Structure 1
Amino acid sequence: MIFRQLCHARKGTLSYLLGDPVTREAVLIDPVPELLDSLTRFIHERGLILTYILQTHYTKEQFAAGAQLRTGSGARMVAHESARDEALDLRLRHQDVLYFGEERLQVLHTPGQSPCAVTYFWEDRLFTGKTLLVNSTLPCSNTDAARILYQSITQHLLTFPGETLVYPGLENKGRRLTSIEEIRRKDQWFHNQHGHREMLGKYSRLFSKDAHKTRHIVKKPGASDEEVHRYSPDFKAPVSL
């Protein structure tokens, strides 16, 4: 197994490189623009062949980074079929399976944050993008989206064995890894039929009109970039469960 988690220290965004140690074929999940140079060096140093660039959700920056990497590597960029982007080579559906070398990766459609959101299942781990973070989710825009997200998490993710690892697309309070068991144990929203309403209610209390305004936070002496939380107009902070 070849596995590497990459993190943009300031933004907290996460990418994942998975590879077959025999054939050296590899896939990248959620390319981060600022990490492309270091990622490309790592691929060349390890003698890997990038075959797929996998997107868990749509953002202009992420798809642009994928298109750039696609041009330089010849890899195919893939996302859910509802994503609208000309750079896509392959459109995925729920329960589709992708192969790279002797490795197998399953696609789960997990909408809520966006209609094209997907989760990838490989070996003993789930790559959830922004659908599910470490003990948190991101705010939904309305009740329908919260309900859909709730269903995606309860029907497609929490059905996995407790020991299944969860690797999100964004770190939360410095954490970049959790498990299905931890989510079940700590979260109460997913244990009742009105959980999505509770989720939306908490979003409404925490995020007012001013929540998306830029906030300047003073960095404490000796603190790393990972400890500094920066909020921009297009950033949605996680809501703890």
Structure 2
Amino acid sequence: MIFRQICPEKEGALAYVLGDPITREAVVIDVAETHLAAVEDFLRSRGLQLHLLLVTHWNSSHEKAAQILRERWGARLAAHESINAICVDMRIRDEDVLYFGEESLRVFHTPGLTSCALMYAWNDRVFTGETLLVRGLHPKLRGKARSNLLARIHALLERFPEETLLYPGRETQGRRLSSIEEYQRRSQSSSGGDSAGLLHRYSRLLQNKAAAKQVEKVRAEKDLHRYVPGQDVPASL
């Protein structure tokens, strides 16, 4: 495994380089213009050939950096299928699997902060973009969009072990790394919007609704059998 997290300035945006040590093919995530020099230096120092450019969300800086890397390295740009920019070579969607060398990563669509927001899972780590920062969901998320995304994140993170690492798209208060276990623990002790307690209550609410429907179904079936005409009449006299 070849991996590098890149942050050219304090409290700035984070970019990532992932490489296959066998084939030397590499993928970069969320490279902006300010990351270009550091990213290319790392690629050259490790003898890597850039294969894919990925973004967790779309902005002009990502687009400009991608155009430069496409021209210099011949890499292909992948973004959510809702992005219509001419520079996008691959339009991807939820649960797609992307390959580079003998490595692969899985795509997760997490709309909320933006409709094209994505996360990527690779080995023991998930790249969460600006949707999920070190201290929880992006503070700009409000209302129904926040509630829906909470449920989505909760269901998504349950698929991974607690020790799975979470790599955000931006440094927050000097932090550039978290984990699912830390996120859950922080959420449980928080009285705020993205607490695991809220997620747990949300899940329990859904379970209770499902349970209530099941009870009603069983009760209706019992009533149906109880009042079948001729039920007490023997089959033969």
| TM-score (structure 2 length as normaliser) | 0.78
What is the Cα deviation at residue 190 of structure 1? 2.8
Residue 170 of structure 1 corresponds to 170
Residue type at the aligned position of 2:61: E
Once the two structures are superposed, residues 70-106 of structure 1 have per-residue CA deviations (whole angstroms, 9 ceiling, x without a partner) of: 1111100001111232110001111100110000111
Match in the other structure for 2:2: 2
The structure 1 segments of at least 4 consecutive aligned residues displaced by more than 4 Å after TM superposition are 193-196
**C-alpha separation between the residues in 2 aligned to 1:71 and 1:21?**
24
Q: Distance in 2 between matches of 1:91 and 1:101?
A: 20
The answer as to whether partners of 2:110 and 2:152 remain within 8 angstroms in 1 is yes
State the TM-score, normalized to the length of structure 1: 0.76
Higher helix share: 2
Identity %: 48
Partner residue, 2:138: 138
| Aligned-residue offset at 1:132 | 0.6
Where do 5+ consecutive residues of structure 1 fail to align?
Answer: 197-241
Partner of 1:15: 15
How far off is 1:147 after superposition?
2.2
CA pair 141-174 structure 1, distance change in 2 beyond 3 A: closer
CA RMSD of aligned residues (A): 1.8
CA 195–150 in structure 1, closer or farther in 2 if over 3 Å, else same? farther
Q: Relative contact order (C-alpha < 8 Å, sep 6+): which is higher?
A: 1
| Shift in Å, 1:152 | 2.4
Asked if 2 retains the 8 angstrom alpha-carbon contact of 1:112 and 1:147, the reply is no
**Number of aligned positions between the proteins:** 196
Aligned pairs for 1:68-79 within 5 A: 68-79=68-79
SS at match of 1:72: helix
Larger Rg: 2
Counterpart selection for 1:192 from 181, 191, 198: 198
Partner of 1:93: 93
The whole-number CA distance in structure 2 between the counterparts of 1:8 and 1:152 is 31
> Do 2:118 and 2:129's aligned partners in 1 also have CA atoms closer than 8 Å?
yes
Tell me which residue corresponds to 1:203.
none
The answer to whether the 8 A contact 2:98-2:104 is kept is yes
2:9 aligns to what SS in structure 1? coil
CA distance in 2, matches of 1:75, 1:8: 22
Bigger CA drift: 92-101 or 150-159?
150-159
The CA distance in 1 between the partners of 2:49 and 2:137, in whole Å, is 33
Separation of aligned partners in 1, 2:155 and 2:72: 38
